[in-house]
């Protein structure tokens, strides 16, 4: 059974094979925006500080 692979995926595989330096650039970009150290105390405080959302937002009686 053949596994489907989109044209975009094929293109990206070929392009990354031809430009291996871009893998490092991807990792730098990911580290810049997503890979951040996590602080358990800060996460806990943020979770506790959240205000519960009303079941019906526009109901002024509740």
pLDDT along the chain (62 residues), means of 10: 88 95 92 85 93 80 68
Identify the pLDDT of residue 35: 81
34 to 5, 37, 42, 47: CA distances (angstroms): 27, 9, 17, 19
Residues ≥6 apart with Cβ < 8 Å to 25 = none
For residue 46, give the 3-state DSSP assignment: helix
Identify the pLDDT of residue 1: 60
**DSSP at 56:** S
Identify the pLDDT of residue 62: 61
Q: What is the pTM of this model?
A: 0.47
Compute and round to an integer the Cα radius of gyration of the chain.
22
Domain regions of the chain by residue span: 7-49
Identify the pLDDT of residue 16: 94
């Amino acid at each position: 059974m053949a596994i489907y692979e989109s044209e975009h995926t094929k293109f990206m595989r070929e392009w990354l094979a031809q430009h291996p330096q871009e893998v490092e650039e991807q990792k730098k970009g990911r580290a810049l925006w997503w890979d951040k150290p996590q602080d358990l105390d800060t996460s806990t405080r943020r979770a506790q500080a959240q205000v519960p959302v009303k079941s019906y937002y526009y109901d002024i009686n509740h």
